[in-house]
Chain A
């Protein structure tokens, strides 16, 4: 499904006289369709960099990211046109970061409903039902559904973030420490949801700071160093 080949990312900081920073070097791994690859390694090793290169928030410096797209066939995400990357993001690839980055002044329920509506093309009522169900499972009290997530606690924001990312059932899901600030009970709910998504066929690449947890969800672990 996705094969990363000698991926290298370095930053050139022009405002520091062209200083170069190596973020990751010659990373290669492969994930089969439906697989779950965990990325491990010390902080600063470049785990998030790898995910951001796959999502194209970072432009890879060299190497290839071959992905079997449902719409476009086999593509190299490192060099694909911006427009085609957007098409893949909109229809196939989801990304959950540690931090919630949503549009201000949009309610929690709308944040989760929006991708279902635009990407799955369901009715408003069906999207609403699925979003509300997910939020309830993730223990967001219904009185918060109409409130703006910007005002929520860190753990609540992270659960909204996860709900938004899984709600539309992406084909490939990138997870950057999705459980970092959650309590034990919530972590288990998240793992259950990810498990269900995998059974529906979603391929995943994830970073978890808890190695034990990572070994329990991933079926292979790649060490970034």
Chain B
């Protein structure tokens, strides 16, 4: 099986940087800020493959660079080094300029124009944020939020858009009778489910989940996680699951990467990471579990 997406050497630096940034930061140095020039390496030398219908977990404490990684892959921030290549898929068939003749993978997506990045995002990616205010327009109706995404993906027929929005909201357990209400009227769990409906509307290959259950009640958390699990099967999604909660990672992910001070310190099968953690930090993380 071939990976859907190949990421190599991804890095994000805030500040001008110097020659010694990479060697003076990371888990051994116990900082992500270069002591020589003051630049912050939010994320450095991150490499991984994501396979079809696989859930890859990223754990780490706040500031470890896990959300930065998602923002780079979702093209919200520009990376300062690295490559991101996508497998040749039918969804990208209408964008032949991303592929060199005969190659199975696209050219480095980080080198595309903003417009092209948006095209890739609309065709292949979905994202659900911890904070629903980042993913939704709170004044616009729930249905309108989904419709906006569909318009971005090239849908033009209003009746078709409305029925697709209703279908997605029903699938994420939002009563269709409330689809014309704005999400600011909804509970936290419902807002997350509207975000999920919106993220799924373009039938993405890759879904980014950034701390989606953090801050929700336990019972609401359970429903959101159950929904994600069933949608993964139904839509054959590849998930990149960012969480500091090992329970969430254990439930959703086949493989897991552990991040600390902007670097991946350990990667493995999720049960191996939890039962036989190798790195000092992972052992501390597992031992700290309630």
Kindly state whether residue B180 has any CB partner on chain A within 8 Å. no
B271: chain A residues within 8 A (beta carbon): 57
Kindly state whether residue A214 has any CB partner on chain B within 8 Å. no
A14: chain B residues within 8 A (beta carbon): 279-280, 283-284
Q: Are A86 and B275 in contact (CB under 8 A)?
A: no
Residues of B192-239 whose CB lies within 8 A of A? 222, 226, 229
In the complex, A104 Cα to B271 Cα: how many Å?
A: 16
Q: Are A105 and B222 in contact (CB under 8 A)?
A: yes
A103: chain B residues within 8 A (beta carbon): 229, 251
B265: shortest Cβ distance to chain A, in Å?
A: 12
Q: Are A57 and B222 in contact (CB under 8 A)?
A: no
B279: chain A residues within 8 A (beta carbon): 14
Kindly state whether residue A11 has any CB partner on chain B within 8 Å. yes
Count chain A residues whose beta carbon lies closer than 8 angstroms to a beta carbon of B. Answer: 18
Residues of B1-60 whose CB lies within 8 A of A? 1, 49, 51
Kindly state whether residue B121 has any CB partner on chain A within 8 Å. no
Q: Are A86 and B280 in contact (CB under 8 A)?
A: no
Residues of A1-27 whose CB lies within 8 A of B? 11-15
- A82, A85, A87 interface centre (most CB from chain B within 10 Å): A82
A86: chain B residues within 8 A (beta carbon): 254-255, 269
Q: Are B275 and A82 in contact (CB under 8 A)?
A: no
Kindly state whether residue B116 has any CB partner on chain A within 8 Å. no
Q: Are B251 and A57 in contact (CB under 8 A)?
A: no
A30: shortest Cβ distance to chain B, in Å?
A: 25
B267: chain A residues within 8 A (beta carbon): 82
Partner of A85 from B251, B269, B280, B283 at Cβ < 8 Å: B269
Q: Are B254 and A59 in contact (CB under 8 A)?
A: no
Q: Are B268 and A83 in contact (CB under 8 A)?
A: no
- Tell me the nearest residue of chain B to A49, going by C-beta: B276
B49: chain A residues within 8 A (beta carbon): 83
Q: A13 with B283: in contact, given A58-B272, A83-B51, A103-B229 (CB under 8 Å)?
A: yes
Partner of B226 from A11, A58, A85, A105 at Cβ < 8 Å: A105
Q: Are B255 and A11 in contact (CB under 8 A)?
A: no
Kindly state whether residue B177 has any CB partner on chain A within 8 Å. no
- Tell me the nearest residue of chain B to A60, going by C-beta: B276
Q: Are B284 and A15 in contact (CB under 8 A)?
A: yes
Q: Are B275 and A15 in contact (CB under 8 A)?
A: no
Partner of B268 from A12, A59, A105 at Cβ < 8 Å: A59
Q: Are B222 and A82 in contact (CB under 8 A)?
A: no
Kindly state whether residue B278 has any CB partner on chain A within 8 Å. yes
Kindly state whether residue B93 has any CB partner on chain A within 8 Å. no
Binary CB contact string for chain B from 72 to 112 against chain A (1 if under 8 A, 0 otherwise): 00000000000000000000000000000000000000000
Q: Are B276 and A11 in contact (CB under 8 A)?
A: yes
Q: A56 with B269: in contact, given A11-B276, A82-B255 (CB under 8 Å)?
A: yes
Residues of B248-272 whose CB lies within 8 A of A? 251, 254-255, 267-269, 271-272
Kindly state whether residue A133 has any CB partner on chain B within 8 Å. no
- A11, A14, A52, A58 interface centre (most CB from chain B within 10 Å): A14
B276: chain A residues within 8 A (beta carbon): 11, 52, 57-59
A56: chain B residues within 8 A (beta carbon): 269, 272
- B49, B269, B275 interface centre (most CB from chain A within 10 Å): B269
Kindly state whether residue B287 has any CB partner on chain A within 8 Å. yes
Binary CB contact string for chain A from 48 to 82 against chain B (1 if under 8 A, 0 otherwise): 00001000111100000000000000000000001
- B272, B275, B276, B278 interface centre (most CB from chain A within 10 Å): B276
B278: chain A residues within 8 A (beta carbon): 12, 59
List 24 A–B pairs whose Cβ atoms lie within 8 Å, in order of A's numbering. A11-B276, A13-B283, A14-B283, A15-B283, A15-B284, A52-B275, A56-B272, A57-B272, A57-B275, A58-B272, A59-B268, A59-B276, A59-B278, A82-B255, A82-B268, A82-B269, A83-B49, A83-B51, A85-B269, A86-B255, A86-B269, A103-B229, A104-B251, A105-B226
9 extra A-B contacts, CB within 8 A, seeds A13-B283, A82-B268: A14-B280, A14-B283, A14-B284, A15-B280, A56-B269, A58-B276, A87-B1, A104-B251, A105-B226
Residues in B lying within 8 Å of A, measured CB to CB: 1, 49, 51, 222, 226, 229, 251, 254-255, 267-269, 271-272, 275-276, 278-280, 283-284, 287
Closest 6 pairs (CB-CB, A-B): A14-B280, A58-B276, A57-B271, A14-B283, A82-B269, A57-B275
